[in-house]
Homo-oligomer: A and B are copies of this chain.
Amino acid sequence: MEQYLINSLDIAGTLAFAISGALAAARKDFDLFGISFTAFITALGGGTVRDLCIGYTPVSWMRDMNYLYIIILAVVVTFLFSKYLLNLHRTLFLFDAIGIGVFTIIGMKKALALDIHIVMAIMMGITSAVMGGVFRDTFLNEVPLILREEIYATACLLGALIYIGLEYLGVNPVLCLTVTIIFIITIRILSMRYHISLPKITLHHDL
């Protein structure tokens, strides 16, 4: 039941990230290959960095053809429905929030399964959720949005801590996952709506 839920959410998250990458590439006037490449990097780049850092090779997406099918599906969906998807940014935002939540927990669990220290496992969870978007923006020649705006990675961190806390208390795994993801989505929506950001350093000097 827990594994089934994780797999379903993993598919939803991968699809959402891939569509977000494909749309971003389409806006940059990329061709079909560029769109597929960007969808791939956005959806699987974070997990690839995580796998490389913990030494889990061949990396996850090379062991399971389904990831490739999801990318292809995302590109097809983007080609067919790009007009509508742009009006669906609320839906995409929700998918994206699900994606970062699931990727954080899955990434953390994969690291823990390889006996990685729990603090490092949390960092691997955040890496899984965050690096795909960083690569997408970097290859598109933009400053990664996540580094400037809103409580994105912080939601991942808090979600990971809550998950560990609940698991430690012996709460049912499915409930852990559900609560954590709803928590991350809620933080994301609230920070978006009320423009809550992390503090910045104000530099008055001319640099």
Chain B hits for A34, CB < 8 A: 144, 146-148
Interface residues on A, range: 35 or more
Q: Restricting to A68-123, which residues have a CB under 8 Å from any CB of B?
A: 68, 78-79, 82-83, 86, 114, 116-117, 119-120, 123
Q: Do the beta carbons of A58 and B62 come within 8 Å of each other?
A: no
Give the CA-CA distance A120 to B57 in the complex, in Å: 13
- Whether, in the assembled complex, A160 has its beta carbon less than 8 Å from a beta carbon of chain B, the answer is no
- Whether, in the assembled complex, A197 has its beta carbon less than 8 Å from a beta carbon of chain B, the answer is yes
Q: Do the beta carbons of A200 and B146 come within 8 Å of each other?
A: no
- Whether, in the assembled complex, A170 has its beta carbon less than 8 Å from a beta carbon of chain B, the answer is no
Copy total for this chain: 3
- Whether, in the assembled complex, A52 has its beta carbon less than 8 Å from a beta carbon of chain B, the answer is yes
Q: Do the beta carbons of B31 and A147 come within 8 Å of each other?
A: yes
Contact surface of A with B, Cβ cutoff 8 Å: 25-35, 37-38, 48, 52-55, 57-59, 62, 65, 68, 78-79, 82-83, 86, 114, 116-117, 119-120, 123, 130, 134, 138-144, 146-154, 197-201, 203-205, 207
